[in-house]
Structure 1
Amino acid sequence: MNRLLFTFALGLASVASSTTAHAQKELYVAAEVTALGDGSRQTPFATLVEARDAIRQARTSGDLQADDTVTVWIGPGIYQLEKSFELSAVDSGTEKASIVYRATKTGTARIRGGITLDPNAFKPITDPKVRSRLDESIRDQIRVCDLSKQLRDPIDPLKTSYRGVPESPWLYCNDQPMTLARWPNVDAADGAWATFSTTLDTGLADPDAEDPAKRKARGGSFVFEDPRPQRWNLDAGVWLLGYWTHDWSDEVIRIASYEPENHQITLAAPHNYGINAGTWGAAERRFFALNALEELDAPGEWYLDRTKKRLYFYPNDDLIQSNIVLATLTRPLVQASNLKHTKFEGLVFEYAHADGIVLHNTEHVEITGCRAANLAKSGFVVDGNHNTIRSCDLYNLGTSGLSLRGGDRRSLTPAENLAINNHIHHYGLFQRTYAPGIGVSGCGQSVQHNCIHDAPHNAVLYGGNEHRFEYNEVYRVVMETGDAGAFYTGRDWTSQGNVLRHNYIHDLGGGDAKHVNTMGVYLDDCDSGDTIEGNVFYRAGRAIMIGGGRSNPVLNNLVIDCPIGLHIDARGMTWKQWNNPSYSSWHLEAKAQAVGYTQPPWSDRYPKLAAIMNDSPRQPLYNPIRRNVFVDCTSQVCNFDGNVKKLLDQFEIENNLVVQTAGESSGVVATKEIQGFTHLAGTADDPIELGFKNEDAENFSLTNDARLLKVLPSFEPIPFAKIGLYRDQYREQTTPTPSSR
């Protein structure tokens, strides 16, 4: 027996008797171990890699049987990685005996992809050229750190244009991401965005243009009246993060030139949709400048001279007492392929310029009670079947919170992956659109009892079949975007069988009174086959939006204080893109053919979809609207276009209630023309009380004698108290919102 196998045999402590069919064995890992350990409690391993390799070799030697459970106990401290911790099929447990990587105390074992910087290494700035570029009032508060010893390799420059994660590294201080020097500042009195409305060149290609330069895409240009750009050193590089045309498409593009005489900014690369080339939303476009040393003027901002490896920082607090980390690892902290029956419990994954955990083709892998924070990409990415993410905290993330994919759509075989009781917030810091709190694809995922909040765009982004979204609380999302939804899916007839039930969606951002282009649930561009049932929408913009799709039941929802309660349009009847092969993403029939929609199991499961091409496919048919309650919709209860109004007799509209607690509005009058709605109105002196337990505290549970149930007996009480996080051994706090239920 070689030394590693010998020490492993000593270090594996069996906690089962010799008569037990399979043993439970333990290994120990501790931070800052100096002596070579054997994995025992007395002389633990120093790294996860040592523990993994010891398990591998013990299996090879026969010291570890297939049905032996192994728990790797990971002690408090920092485990800094220079490359991913990788696991594969050989590291799997079995159905009866999992391999468990568990913190000895939840939240204390910190797996890290960054380097800690010594606060004493940050010095006052003495270089007169640098000082001259800084605002005189704060230049003595800025500190500089020489990174040449920590970062031996050249630092990659920022790309001319990019969407999402910038080149590494990124700075964090006291467990928070710092802000790359920018203008306007995040807390600027007049807002965190600069705006413009006059475009000189959209940058879009015009094949018929006389000027050959305009026949291909190029960096656009616009007029920006504010003289601020005159301060910036464009040769050193200044980038603009902008919503250049659409409020759902952000991109960072370097400035090519600025002409102060006519206030013209020209960008160095084209934007896919052009510059201010037409959108549904506000006429003004917006951006902020970043990576400008001249704008290093607010606490928490930093700037990196990538050539000289000088990091400039304006600290929030006493720098000497601060914990400063530079995230440098550009690979996932943990990466696993073909792994089975493995658990991660109570661990912290942090400070990587990448993802926390990436699982590919895994089965029965559990991530429980863990934290993923301060990462440039996603917290957890799961691809496989029967995997679970439970009771985890995910925040300060550059892209999305977590994603689930798996199952087989063609055979409609469910993955049965589960995301449950997770708290996900402050994500989308780098990629600000289509980086959701939870992303779902494939077939048969479940998303339950999660709390998702504080993000620029979607809370849940999904596609595929037979997913369940239940008992989730979502708030303060779509905060800086428009034409966007808290729950979003779109442009697919085949995204069938998904159920959104008993979710609480409230206090959304974005949009304005004119456009109301923030939605609670958004079924975009003819998406079909989803059930929206028993949800509560409160201050949620356009609560439910069905954009031309069919077979989308809207049942038993409670909509309160939303400008628009329900929107249905018939864009399939009027838009030139509809099912048009020239627009590949709009070729709906081709997407259906790809999954064999006219053959079993699809034709058995979704018979109306199988017959769609012979059943007026452009029309938004079979959208039953039953037992919904709309309370104080200030603009419109129902926003239906002209073609939809002609088809309402095919919508099965029944037993809906419209309530204006203190008097009628114009939006209610229009609904009176539609059958299937009962109206109830109070007055300012005698407002309607529907029987909510405590509306002021956002408790929309109904009392036993609620008037709503008497007026609309068919309404099924929503189990409001069950929505959101629940207590377990990893989570004591169940109400992270300011409000109390």
Structure 2
Amino acid sequence: MKAQIPSWVNVDEFNELYVDDRRAIVAKYPNGDPSTQGLYAKDAGFSYDSQSWIAPVRQSSVEIHVEDPYRNGTVFPHYQLGVGGGASVFDPPSNFWSTASPPQGDNYVVPRGLVVKANALPHLPQWSNASTGFVHAFHSGYWGSWVFEIASANSSQNTIMFGRGGFQEARGSGAGGAFYVSNVFEELDSANEWFLDKTTRTLYFMPNQSMPTVFVASQVPCLISLSGSSINDPIRNVLIQGLTFTQTSNTYMREYMVPSGGDWSVHRGATVYLTNTQQISIVHNVFTELGSNGIAVIDYNEESSVMLNEFAWLGDSGVVVVGSTNGIDGYSMKSQPTNMLISSNLFRETGIYVKQSSPVLISVSRSVRVVDNVMFNMPRAGVNINDGYYGNHTISGNVIFNSVRETSDHGPINTWDRQVYLSDGAEAGVPSVWQHTSYIHHNLLFNNYNSFYPIDHDDGSCFYEDSYNFQVYGGKKNYLGHSKTDHNEIYVYPDTKSSQGTGVCIADQAPSKGSSGWNEVWVENTCILYQSPVPYNIWYCDTSNLFVPYLAKNRIYVPVSTQVAFICNVNGSSARLSLDQWQSYGLDLGSTVQSAPNIETIIDWGREILQHKNYSVGVVF
């Protein structure tokens, strides 16, 4: 089918076609619907037939390093930023990763192109205008994904060169992973695919066996924007209720920025956009079939709430809560979301286009509460806290499963703390580089698909209290961080995961006195092992110089007919210690080891802690 596009349609903005209320598929190879097919599916709709990636050209950024103030006792003591150069693809043109040697990373780059295996793109020799196309590709480590405009293609060399793009995640890499090609006319060969020839203003569509009735040429990414004129003159007291938001255009080629030191870049726009507001309520709405984020809460917003909404079939994230600072200074300016509530929402099928996305993203924000939500079917984390700015967040009462379906090295709840900020998070009215404690409690977390840990406290995460969570298929993680307390947790079968040191009740990775792993507390927890008798993986454990979390009053359950084994060096050699031997070094006093209970008992324990949210948090041991 084909039709002429009316003159009043802006073909430059028309990038999504909705047919009978569902997103149609822009012509692509391999065939497949990005809404319902991905790396989690047997037929993924992605190709693994890259032969090589064309090396990036490194462009040095101007580096900013703040030596004072700084935070000692951490792997990430100083504020740093790269401006211009490789970071020029972002808006503003800056990136934590665009320095010569960012901690735990490499300078931000992306590949310049792709060489595919012979015959991997069978229509490539027939491409008449490759420059209309895009390449959607995963990061080489599957930490997110990129979208590139195609600059040119050479069928004799099986080469696709990239133009603008690659800014849809922050860390970069010189190579990619699985990919697909879209928006090339010669790939229009499957039911429900479409292509727009902007030059002739002709829309092509391939129907299936039934004829559609309604076509929507979407040209608008944002449906409601509330923007106060300034922090001192905000928009106040608006209720958005009972609406269905749907069929918006995509934004994956619009401006993205790097808000802090996490892995994330973010498009600071959405179907509903808030900035310079107070007491905005978004309640009882449906956000479905959207090309971008659902809601963007950007810079100064105070006491906004997002409650009882459904988010489904989103091109990017659900709710992004993103503030800003003046470099290291987040103390003297109020350009951050503050005291926000995200409660009792349903999030599912997010990240259709942008895989570095999540139902809820929190970055450079104060006191955000994510409470009693249900989240499932997403490419990466359910809740991502991108940095340690200010803190005082609460993640409570949520049910999260089927996360990290298409990416790697992540969990249902993910946190980072690599970038240093000045705020009054440690004490009201007093500037400090430290933050308030955040609380993660009474959540039901399933660590399935590619998740590594139910609560992934990654690079430098500190000042968290995790309690009363029921976590299935994963244990506790600490990597390069400190000052976290875990108590009254239940970990079920963590040893069903074995990648990167997982598969234990505790993975205490790279502890270093005075730098990471200090002030870690793990008490009054329950951990049920499925097949392994080894509860802990504590790097560099040595009884002659012990540096381990504070362990006490825990209940460890091992498989029937096995003997628990605490692994630690004794006299220079690795040893498997019994509980009595382990406790003789003053560790795990009051802890017990028993045979694993049956499934019904474990479920009863889970019901008990999750249904009694009056159990105290904020406990200091």
CA–CA distance in 2 between the matches of 1:228 and 1:661?
Answer: 48
Task: Give yes or no for the alignment of 1:719 onto 2:595.
Answer: no
2:44 corresponds to? 191
Listed as ranges, the matches of 1:661-740 within 5 Å are: 661-662=559-560, 664=562, 675-676=587-588, 678-681=592-595, 688-689=597-598, 692=601, 695=603, 701=606, 717-720=608-611
Given that 1:495 and 1:527 are in contact with CA atoms closer than 8 Å, whether structure 2 keeps it comes out as no
Listed as ranges, the matches of 1:410-429 within 5 Å are: 410=331, 415-429=338-352
1:638 corresponds to? 536
Which of the residues 178, 182, 199 maps onto 1:307?
A: 199
Q: Which amino acid aligns with 2:519?
A: Y
1:302-325: CA deviations, max 9, x gaps?
Answer: 2222222222223456334x4432
Which of the residues 15, 19, 22 maps onto 1:169?
A: 15
Q: Please report how far the alpha carbon of residue 181 of structure 1 lies from its aligned counterpart in structure 2 after TM superposition.
A: 2.0
Q: Please report how far the alpha carbon of residue 545 of structure 1 lies from its aligned counterpart in structure 2 after TM superposition.
A: 2.2
Q: Which amino acid aligns with 1:309?
A: R
Given that 2:492 and 2:527 are in contact with CA atoms closer than 8 Å, whether structure 1 keeps it comes out as yes
Task: Give yes or no for the alignment of 1:352 onto 2:210.
Answer: no
CA–CA distance in 1 between the matches of 2:398 and 2:198?
Answer: 43
CA–CA distance in 2 between the matches of 1:416 and 1:255?
Answer: 43
In structure 2, relative to structure 1, the CA distance for the partners of 1:524 and 1:241 (3 Å cut) is same
Listed as ranges, the matches of 1:148-547 within 5 Å are: 148-151=6-9, 153=10, 155-156=11-12, 168-186=14-32, 191-196=44-49, 198-199=51-52, 201-205=54-58, 219-221=111-113, 223-232=115-124, 233=127, 235-237=129-131, 238-256=133-151, 263-268=158-163, 277=174, 285-315=177-207, 318-320=210-212, 322-337=213-228, 338-353=234-249, 355-382=270-297, 383-404=300-321, 410=331, 415-439=338-362, 441-462=364-385, 463=387, 464=389, 465-492=391-418, 494-510=434-450, 518-539=452-473, 542-547=474-479
SS for the counterpart of 1:229 is: coil
1:661-719: CA deviations, max 9, x gaps?
Answer: 4554998776857542533235xxxxx327537x4xxx7535xxxxxxxxxxxxxx412
Which of the residues 536, 555, 561 maps onto 2:487?
A: 555
Given that 1:528 and 1:552 are in contact with CA atoms closer than 8 Å, whether structure 2 keeps it comes out as yes
CA–CA distance in 2 between the matches of 1:644 and 1:376?
Answer: 53
CA–CA distance in 2 between the matches of 1:331 and 1:394?
Answer: 15
Task: Give yes or no for the alignment of 1:653 onto 2:551.
Answer: yes
Given that 2:538 and 2:548 are in contact with CA atoms closer than 8 Å, whether structure 1 keeps it comes out as no
CA–CA distance in 2 between the matches of 1:498 and 1:524?
Answer: 15
Given that 2:437 and 2:464 are in contact with CA atoms closer than 8 Å, whether structure 1 keeps it comes out as yes
Say which is worse superposed, 444-453 or 634-643, in terms of deviation. Answer: 634-643
CA–CA distance in 2 between the matches of 1:468 and 1:170?
Answer: 36
In structure 2, relative to structure 1, the CA distance for the partners of 1:285 and 1:275 (3 Å cut) is farther
Q: Which amino acid aligns with 1:547?
A: Y
Q: Please report how far the alpha carbon of residue 267 of structure 1 lies from its aligned counterpart in structure 2 after TM superposition.
A: 3.8
Q: Please report how far the alpha carbon of residue 226 of structure 1 lies from its aligned counterpart in structure 2 after TM superposition.
A: 4.6
In the alignment, structure 2 segments of 5+ residues that lack a partner are 61-107, 229-233, 250-268, 421-433, 498-502, 568-575, 615-621
Given that 1:385 and 1:407 are in contact with CA atoms closer than 8 Å, whether structure 2 keeps it comes out as no
- Normalising to structure 1: TM-score of the pair? 0.58
CA–CA distance in 1 between the matches of 2:50 and 2:315?
Answer: 29
SS for the counterpart of 1:359 is: strand
SS for the counterpart of 2:482 is: coil
- Normalising to structure 2: TM-score of the pair? 0.68
Given that 1:196 and 1:223 are in contact with CA atoms closer than 8 Å, whether structure 2 keeps it comes out as no
In structure 2, relative to structure 1, the CA distance for the partners of 1:414 and 1:144 (3 Å cut) is closer
SS for the counterpart of 2:484 is: coil
In structure 2, relative to structure 1, the CA distance for the partners of 1:537 and 1:226 (3 Å cut) is farther
In structure 2, relative to structure 1, the CA distance for the partners of 1:473 and 1:440 (3 Å cut) is farther
CA–CA distance in 1 between the matches of 2:457 and 2:171?
Answer: 26
Given that 2:378 and 2:402 are in contact with CA atoms closer than 8 Å, whether structure 1 keeps it comes out as yes
1:28 corresponds to? none
1:26-82: CA deviations, max 9, x gaps?
Answer: xxxxxxxxxxxxxxxxxxxxxxxxxxxxxxxxxxxxxxxxxxxxxxxxxxxxxxxxx
In the alignment, structure 1 segments of 5+ residues that lack a partner are 1-142, 157-166, 208-215, 279-283, 511-516, 574-615, 683-687, 703-716, 724-741
In structure 2, relative to structure 1, the CA distance for the partners of 1:440 and 1:220 (3 Å cut) is closer
Q: Percent identity?
A: 18
In structure 2, relative to structure 1, the CA distance for the partners of 1:391 and 1:221 (3 Å cut) is closer
CA–CA distance in 2 between the matches of 1:454 and 1:307?
Answer: 38
RMSD: 3.7
Q: Please report how far the alpha carbon of residue 642 of structure 1 lies from its aligned counterpart in structure 2 after TM superposition.
A: 1.9
1:569 corresponds to? 509
Poorly superposed stretches of 4+, deviation over 6 Å: 272-276, 406-409, 411-414, 643-647, 665-669
In structure 2, relative to structure 1, the CA distance for the partners of 1:251 and 1:649 (3 Å cut) is closer
1:238-267: CA deviations, max 9, x gaps?
Answer: 322112423113111244555556655544
CA–CA distance in 1 between the matches of 2:150 and 2:563?
Answer: 49
Given that 2:439 and 2:466 are in contact with CA atoms closer than 8 Å, whether structure 1 keeps it comes out as yes
Q: Bigger radius of gyration, 1 or 2?
A: 1
CA–CA distance in 2 between the matches of 1:306 and 1:191?
Answer: 29
Given that 2:307 and 2:343 are in contact with CA atoms closer than 8 Å, whether structure 1 keeps it comes out as yes
Q: Please report how far the alpha carbon of residue 440 of structure 1 lies from its aligned counterpart in structure 2 after TM superposition.
A: 5.3
1:159 corresponds to? none
SS for the counterpart of 1:692 is: helix
CA–CA distance in 2 between the matches of 1:498 and 1:296?
Answer: 50
CA–CA distance in 2 between the matches of 1:364 and 1:293?
Answer: 47
CA–CA distance in 2 between the matches of 1:529 and 1:444?
Answer: 14
How many residue pairs get matched? 481
CA–CA distance in 1 between the matches of 2:110 and 2:163?
Answer: 8
CA–CA distance in 1 between the matches of 2:360 and 2:577?
Answer: 35
CA–CA distance in 2 between the matches of 1:395 and 1:460?
Answer: 16
CA–CA distance in 1 between the matches of 2:359 and 2:49?
Answer: 28
CA–CA distance in 2 between the matches of 1:678 and 1:275?
Answer: 46
Q: Which amino acid aligns with 2:468?
A: G
Q: Which amino acid aligns with 1:640?
A: I
Name which structure has the greater RCO, CA cutoff 8 Å, separation 6+: 2
In structure 2, relative to structure 1, the CA distance for the partners of 1:658 and 1:196 (3 Å cut) is farther
SS for the counterpart of 1:192 is: coil
Given that 1:519 and 1:543 are in contact with CA atoms closer than 8 Å, whether structure 2 keeps it comes out as yes
CA–CA distance in 1 between the matches of 2:291 and 2:305?
Answer: 23
SS for the counterpart of 2:471 is: strand
CA–CA distance in 2 between the matches of 1:276 and 1:441?
Answer: 25
Listed as ranges, the matches of 1:35-184 within 5 Å are: 143-151=1-9, 153=10, 155-156=11-12, 168-184=14-30
Given that 2:23 and 2:247 are in contact with CA atoms closer than 8 Å, whether structure 1 keeps it comes out as no
In structure 2, relative to structure 1, the CA distance for the partners of 1:236 and 1:461 (3 Å cut) is same
Given that 2:144 and 2:354 are in contact with CA atoms closer than 8 Å, whether structure 1 keeps it comes out as no
1:516-570: CA deviations, max 9, x gaps?
Answer: x63321222112101111111123xx54322110001122211113322432212
Q: Please report how far the alpha carbon of residue 375 of structure 1 lies from its aligned counterpart in structure 2 after TM superposition.
A: 2.2
Higher share in helix:
1
Say which is worse superposed, 391-400 or 654-663, in terms of deviation. Answer: 654-663
